[in-house]
Structure 1
Amino acid sequence: MTTSGQQTQQVAINTVVDAVTQRITERSKTLRAEYLARLEQLRNRGPRRASLSCANQAHANAAADSKSKIWLNQAQKPNIGIVTAYNDMLSAHQPYATYPDQIKEAALRFNATAQVAGGVPAMCDGVTQGRPGMELSLFSRDVIAQATAIALSHDAFDATLCLGICDKIVPGLLIGALAFGHLPTVFIPAGPMGSGLSNKEKAAVRERYAQGKATKEELLAAESAAYHSAGTCTFYGTANSNQMLLEAMGLHLPGSAFVHPSDPLRHALTDAAVEQVLKLTEAGGDYRPIGHVVNEKTIVNAVIALLATGGSTNHTIHWIAVARAAGILIDWQDFDELSSVIPLLTRVYPNGTADVNAFEDAGGPTFVIRELLSQGLMHADVMTIFGDQGLASHTTRPELKDGKVAFVAHPEKSSDPAVVRNVDEPFAATGGLRLLQGNLGRAIVKASAVPEDAWIVRAPAKVFESQDALVNAYKAGQLNQDFVAVVIFQGPQANGMPELHHFTPVLGSLMSAGYKVALVTDGRMSGASGKVPAALHVSPEVAQGGPLGKVRDGDMIELNVHTGELRVLVDDAVWASRTNPSISIDSSYGYGRDLFVAQRRVVTSPEQGASTLFI
C-alpha cells in the first residue's frame, strides 16, 4: 500500500464539539477507566497461541492445511480470527462467501495465519419488514455481539477481521469485538450493488400500490429492479450509514466502504486489510487494539459523520450501545447539541434522490471527513487502524496501481454538488437529526429527510396498536384528512421494537395528496425513513407507562422540529386522569419470538441503547 496527496492541516476543534466531548469524557470517567484496566489485563504480550496447552492447540489446529498447521503448532506467528456474517439471504453479505479463503492465502503471504473463528447470524430487515420476524431484528444485534464473543473466546488470535455490513450486524460485531478490546480489529466491507431502478421511482411505485393504482406484479418488478444483485442496497439506510460511521472511526481502510464487490480494487483492499491488521499486532510493532482506537473522540466523530450525512435514526440507538461497550456513555442530548453545529453535506436517498454510488462518485465518506476536519468539526487527534496522521489518514481514496492499493488525494471540490458539498456551502447549516421533548416524552426526528414546510404539524391524533391497523384504516378510507398517527406498544419491551416501514407508503401517499401528516411512536423506522415527519423512539415507551399511551383519538398533537417540541394539547386535569391501556396484541410466541421473552423483560430504553447486555 502507498499513500500520497495533501495532508489535512489540523485546526482548532469547534467549541461545541469540544464541550460535548469533554462532557462525555467526564460522564464516562469511571466506566472507561474500568474498561481500559480490563483491556490491559487481557493483553498477552506475545502470540496468543504460545499460551495454549498442547491439547488446546491440537484441537484448534486439527483441520488446518499442512503449512498453516506447522506455523500454528510453532505458535510464533500472529494468527487472525475471522468473524463472518456471511449468508446468501443478504445481498450485501453474499460476496463474503469467498473472503475467508482469500484472507487465509493473504495471511500466509504476510507470514501469518488466519482462521474463521466463528459465524454470526445476519437477518435481512428488507425481507422481514411488516412480518413477525422483524420483532427479532433489534435483539439480533446483541445476539451477534454474543456470538462474536463466543467466536473470539478460544483466545487463539492476535487480531480480528470482521466481515459484516448491514443494519444490526456491524453494531453487534463492534460490541463483540470491544469485549476483546486488546485485539487489533479491522472491518472489511464488500461494497454496494450497482445502481438499478432509482429510489425515487421505487418509492413512487410503492405509493401507487398503496393507493391501489399499481398491481402486485408491477410492485414486484419495481422492487426487483431496485434490489437486483449482490452488494449492499443502494439507498442511504442503516447498512450504508454503518459504513460511513466505520470510516469516521478509522476502522476501515480509507475509502473502502463503497467499492463494488466485483471491482478488482475490492479484492486488493481485502488483501490490504489483512496486511494492515498484522501491522497492528504486538508482533507487528505498531500495536493498536480496538479498545484504544474506540474512545470518546472516536465515538463523537461517528455521531458527527451520521449528522453530516443525514444517516439512519437507528444509530441513535446502536451507537449508544457501541459506546457503552467501550465504557463510554452518550445520550440524545449529545446528538442534538452536535447537530446544532454540524452542517449537512450530502443529499442521498432518503435525504435526496441520489444513491450511494452517486455519493461515492461525488467524493464519498473520505471527502466528507476531510471537509469536516478542515473546519475543526471532527477530532483529528485520534488513533485509527491506518496511517500516522490520525483521522487525516482517512481522507484519501483508494486506487489500484500496478496491482497494489494506493491512497491518493481527493479533488478540492465535489464532482457533483447536488449530492455532496464542501463544508463552506452545505445543504443545511445543521445536522440531520433532532431531539424532540415535551409532555409525550423524548424522541428523535430525522429532520434532513423532511421538507422544511413539514417541520411543524399540529393535527388530531389517530391511535393504533399495530402497523396493520393503520394500513387497514387507510384502505377503509378513514385517513383522508390531516392527522398525527400515534402508533403505540412498539417499543423494545412491548414487542422488540420492529422497524415500522410497512406503512410508510401509506403516510407518504397521504402527504403527497396534500394532507398534513406526521407519525409519533415508541417504535423505530427503517433507516430509509423519509419525507413524513416522524417522532421516533418516544421514551419512556408505552409498555413502561410512557405518557404516549394516554393519547386518545382526536387529541391535538404538535410536533415542531424548529423548536424541538413534542406535546399533546390536552387540559392538565383531563390528562392527569387518564391511564395507559393494556396491550392487546401478544407478540410473545411464534416465529422464534418465544425465545426472546426474557430479552423483552430486561431490555433498556432506546436512549440507553435498547440493550440486553448492559442493564
Structure 2
Amino acid sequence: MVAQPPLNARVGEVTQRIVERSRERRGRYLERIAAAAARAPQRQALGCANQAHGFAACGPSDKAMLRAGQGAALGIVTAYNDMLSAHRPYERYPDLLREAAREAGGVALVAGGVPAMCDGITQGEAGMELSLFSREVIALSTAVALSHQTFDAAVFLGICDKIVPGLVIGALSFGHLPAVFIPSGPMTSGLPNDEKSKIRQLFAEGKVGRDALLEAESQSYHGPGTCTFYGTANTNQMLMEIMGLHLPGASFVTPDTPLRDALTRAAAQRALAITALGNDYIPAGRMLDERAFVNGIVGLHATGGSTNHTLHLVAMAAAGGIVLSWDDFSALAEVTPLLARVYPNGAADVNHFHAAGGMAFVIRELLGAGLLHPDAQTILGTGLDAYTREPVLAADGSLSWRDGPAASGDEKVLRGGAAPFQATGGLKVLDGNLGRAVIKTSAVAPERHVIEAPARIFHSQEELQAAFKAGALTGDLVAVVRFQGPKANGMPELHKLMPPLGVLQDRGHKVALVTDGRLSGASGKVPAAIHVTPEAVDGGAIAKIRDGDLVRVDAVSGRLEALVPAAEWAARPAARADLTGNHAGVGRELFAAFRAAVGGAEHGASIFEEA
C-alpha cells in the first residue's frame, strides 16, 4: 500500500471549483443515466422480433443464453483496421473476448465499428482537416453501436489520437453501462526518435533526399502497435490508466504477446463482473467524476503529454456533465512536477518509459506527493493504489499483479517526485490582446520560454514552407499561421511547420509559432502558442496581426500579445481569408455542418451540446 499524505491543497481547490461549476450539469447527467440504469437490461423488455434479430447470428450456446436472459451481454466497440499499426492487433481481439466472456458465463458480441484515421498519414494533407472532427464521428458511431440496448457492459478497442476521446464521449452517452478500455500496446522500438527528427530537418534543408527520409521513417514506424513517441496516442493510454478505465499496467505492454492476450481476456471478464446484474455495479458515468478528470490532468502534466488533451479532456468531461476550463489545466500544472522525459520531451520512447517503471511508478510517486485523488473509483472498484502494481504472467500462464518498482530503472527517462526533471508540468495558458492559447514548454529550452520578434503572417503551412524554401525567412520571427481553427478548416495539426522552424532556430534565430491550429504532443523544441481562441475566422484578434508587428510569446508570465498601441489595435480591422479551397475534396464537403456547429478550442472544439 502507498502511504497516503494529505491531498495537495491546489488539487483539492481545483477539484472543488470544478464540482461547483459543474453542479447543475452534472446533476442532470446523473439523473439521466440513473433513469437508463433503471430500465436495464433493456433487451429483456424488447419485443420478441427485436430480440430474435439481436441473437439471430449467434452460435447455439450464446443464443440460448441470450434467449433465456441469463448471463451478461458484453458489447465490443472496435476501431480495428489493418492499415494502421496501432489498430491492426485488434483483429484478434473479438475471438479472445468471446472466449473470455463464455468462461465468465456471459456473451460478447461486436456491437459496431468506429473509424480510425491516422494523423501520421494525413499530416500536411487535406485529410488532416477531417481529423479533429473524426472524434465526433467516433462518438456518434459509438452511440449507434450501443443504441440496440442489448448490452450490460461494453469494452472499447481504440488507441490513437481522436479515437479514444471519441470512444469516451460515446461511452459517457451510455454512462449507465460499465466501460472498460482495452489497448493494443506500442510497437517495439525502432530508429530512435531524435535520429528520425534529425533526418527530417536535414531533408527540410535539402541536405538529404527523399529516399533517406523514407528509409528513416520506415525504420521508426516499422511494425504493429502504437508509434513509440509520446504524442496523443500514448497520452491517451496514460489517461485511460490513471483515470481507472484500463486494468493496472495495461497501457504499454507490446502487442501479440502472451501478457497482452492475458490482459485482454481479463479486461472482458472484469467488464462482465461489474454489470448491474451483479453486486459490484460500476457505471462508467458515475465512475468518471470530477476526481477522475483531475487525476487525468495531473497525469498529463507529470508525463509531459499531448497538448491535444487541452481540447479532448474538456470535451470528454462535458459528455459526463463536467465543466473543465483551461485555467484548471494551468493551475494544476503549477504544482505538478515533470517526472518523465519521453520524445519529444527527451530521447527515450514509451518502451523505455515502461521498462524504467512506467505507469505504476508514476502513479506511486504522484500518490505519494498527494497530487492524485487516491479514492477516485476505477473499474476494479477500488482507488488508485491498485494501479501502483504491474501485471505478470506465472509459468502456468495465469495473470497476477505485483508491486511496481520503488525506484526508477533509468533516471534519464523517469524520476521520482523528490528530484523531478522540472518543478512544473510544462504547460501554460497564455492570455493577452491576441486571445487565449496554450503552450507546452517541457521540450523547449528555458532560454526560449520568452520570444519577442516581428510577425510573419501565413494563411497555411504550405505558404510558410514555400517562404522557407525560397530563403525568405531570415532573422528573428514569430510565425503567425492563422485561419486554421475548427470553424475555418477543422483545426488540422501543423507538424510540417516544425522542420523549417527548427532549422531557423538552430541557425541562432529567435523563433516562435502562434496559431489557431494544433500541434499535439509531438510539438517539440520550438515555442508554440497554439489553439489560439477566438480563432481568426470567428473574429479572433489573431486576424489583426500584420507583418512586422512585434509579438511577444511569454511562457513565464503567461502572456500572448501584439505590441501595438492600444488605440491602433482597437481600430485595426481583421484580415479575411478565402477558405473555399478547404471546404471540398477528400470528403471535406460532408463536414460543413460540423464546421458550422463547432465550439471554440477552450470548450473542447466540440459540436455537441451539453450533457
Identify the TM-score tier after normalising by the shorter chain. Answer: over 0.9
- Which position in structure 2 is the counterpart of 1:16? 10
- Which position in structure 2 is the counterpart of 1:364? 358
User: What letter is aligned with 1:395?
Assistant: T
- Paired residues of 2:450 and 2:555 also in contact (CA < 8 A): yes
SS at match of 1:97: helix
> Matched residues in 1 for 2:278 and 2:504: separation?
59
Q: Identify the match of residue 598 of structure 2 among 581, 600, 603.
A: 603
> Matched residues in 2 for 1:488 and 1:147: separation?
31
Question: 396-405 vs 185-194, which deviates more?
Answer: 396-405
- Superimposed CA distance per residue, residues 128-154 of structure 1 (whole angstroms, 9 cap, x where no aligned partner): 000000000000001100100110000
> Matched residues in 1 for 2:28 and 2:573: separation?
42
User: What letter is aligned with 2:242?
Assistant: A
- Which position in structure 1 is the counterpart of 2:544? 550
- Superimposed CA distance per residue, residues 389-447 of structure 1 (whole angstroms, 9 cap, x where no aligned partner): x0111111111113111111012110101101111110011112111111111000001
> Matched residues in 2 for 1:374 and 1:382: separation?
15
Q: Identify the match of residue 388 of structure 2 among 395, 398, 410.
A: 395
- Which position in structure 2 is the counterpart of 1:277? 271
Q: Identify the match of residue 135 of structure 2 among 136, 141, 160.
A: 141
1:242 matched to 2:236: yes
> What is the TM-score of this pair, normalised by structure 1?
0.98
SS at match of 1:503: helix
Q: Identify the match of residue 38 of structure 1 among 18, 21, 32.
A: 32
Superposed, which structure 2 residues align to 1:84-99 within 5 Å?
A: 84-99=78-93
1:480 matched to 2:495: no
> Matched residues in 1 for 2:58 and 2:506: separation?
60
> Matched residues in 1 for 2:279 and 2:45: separation?
20
- Paired residues of 2:282 and 2:381 also in contact (CA < 8 A): no
User: What letter is aligned with 2:321?
Assistant: G
User: Per-residue deviation at 1:480?
Assistant: 2.3
1:229 matched to 2:223: yes
> Matched residues in 2 for 1:82 and 1:217: separation?
41
Listed as ranges, the gaps of 5+ residues in structure 2 are none
SS at match of 1:406: strand
User: Per-residue deviation at 1:47?
Assistant: 3.8
User: Per-residue deviation at 1:45?
Assistant: 6.5
- Which position in structure 2 is the counterpart of 1:308? 302
- Which position in structure 2 is the counterpart of 1:374? 368
> Matched residues in 1 for 2:338 and 2:555: separation?
16
- Superimposed CA distance per residue, residues 480-518 of structure 1 (whole angstroms, 9 cap, x where no aligned partner): 211000001000000000001112111111111211100
- Paired residues of 1:50 and 1:76 also in contact (CA < 8 A): no
- Paired residues of 1:386 and 1:394 also in contact (CA < 8 A): no
SS at match of 2:557: coil
User: What letter is aligned with 1:399?
Assistant: V
> Matched residues in 1 for 2:264 and 2:277: separation?
21
1:175 matched to 2:173: no
> Matched residues in 2 for 1:462 and 1:445: separation?
19
- Which position in structure 2 is the counterpart of 1:614? 609
- Paired residues of 1:348 and 1:419 also in contact (CA < 8 A): yes
Superposed, which structure 2 residues align to 1:60-139 within 5 Å?
A: 60-139=54-133
> Matched residues in 1 for 2:273 and 2:517: separation?
43
User: Per-residue deviation at 1:614?
Assistant: 2.1
User: Per-residue deviation at 1:573?
Assistant: 2.3
- Paired residues of 1:89 and 1:124 also in contact (CA < 8 A): no
- Superimposed CA distance per residue, residues 275-301 of structure 1 (whole angstroms, 9 cap, x where no aligned partner): 111111122320000011100000000
> Matched residues in 1 for 2:521 and 2:141: separation?
24
- Paired residues of 2:248 and 2:388 also in contact (CA < 8 A): yes
> Matched residues in 1 for 2:50 and 2:256: separation?
39
- Paired residues of 1:247 and 1:366 also in contact (CA < 8 A): no
User: What letter is aligned with 1:400?
Assistant: L
Give the aligned length. Answer: 608
Q: CA RMSD in A?
A: 1.0
> Matched residues in 2 for 1:131 and 1:602: separation?
23
1:253 matched to 2:275: no
Q: Identify the match of residue 540 of structure 1 among 534, 547, 556.
A: 534
User: Per-residue deviation at 1:375?
Assistant: 1.2
Q: Following superposition, which runs of at least 4 residues in structure 1 exceed 2 angstroms of deviation?
A: 44-49
User: What letter is aligned with 2:391?
Assistant: P
- Superimposed CA distance per residue, residues 245-285 of structure 1 (whole angstroms, 9 cap, x where no aligned partner): 11110000001000000221000000110111111112232
- Paired residues of 1:93 and 1:231 also in contact (CA < 8 A): yes
User: Per-residue deviation at 1:386?
Assistant: 1.3
> Matched residues in 2 for 1:546 and 1:174: separation?
30
> Matched residues in 1 for 2:524 and 2:367: separation?
28
Question: 19-28 vs 565-574, which deviates more?
Answer: 565-574
SS at match of 1:449: coil
- Which position in structure 1 is the counterpart of 2:586? 591
- Which position in structure 2 is the counterpart of 1:469? 463
> Matched residues in 2 for 1:106 and 1:27: separation?
42
1:503 matched to 2:497: yes
- Paired residues of 2:172 and 2:284 also in contact (CA < 8 A): yes
Listed as ranges, the gaps of 5+ residues in structure 1 are 1-6
